[in-house]
Amino acid sequence: MEKLNYEIIKQYQSFTSIDEMDLAVRGFLYKFKSSLSEGVIKVLNFLWRYSVKVVGVSFAKYDTIANEISLSRRTVIRAVKLLEELLFLKKIPTARMNGKQGVNLLVIQPFESIDSFYNLCHPRMSLYLSLLIKQRISKAHSVRLINKTVLT
């Protein structure tokens, strides 16, 4: 455990810009959002919003996160653990100046960009996927649109 100060937190910065972090989070959500619970998504969004002073690093306490998004502390802990297992977060324990355990640093990890997912599908489908993401069409409508274009 390390004693927490700004220089230590700065060492764990995982992105050079906020735009780079946004792309990583969006790529993660693109791949996993359908399998995540509402509570996990709330925790993820909280960490995403509060990781801008040091880009990609949040040092909010579990209680602070729970109070801010109206969930229980235990749900926040479970959500962070799940995000760790999915390799989206890295939790780094710290120590206070008096040696006791301090707040955990929650570091958002780089993730594949959305562009890498386009390479996995047919070129014609990648065009439709990019249009759907840009227009933010609802899930049900996008499935109907994709099925219609594949069949024709």
Task: Give tens-digit pLDDT for 76-116.
Answer: 999 999 999 888 999 988 877 787 888 888 999 987 654 55
**One-letter amino acid identity for 27?**
G
CB 105 within 8 A of CB 92: yes
**Is pLDDT above 80 for 119?**
no
Would the pTM count as exceeding 0.85? no
- Highest mean pLDDT: which of 5-19, 69-83, 94-108, 124-138? 69-83
CB 94 within 8 A of CB 56: no
Residues 39, 74: Cα–Cα separation, whole Å: 11
**One-letter amino acid identity for 25?**
V
Residue 63: CA count within 13 A, CB half-sphere: 1
Higher-confidence residue of 147 and 42: namely 42
State the pLDDT at residue 77. 94
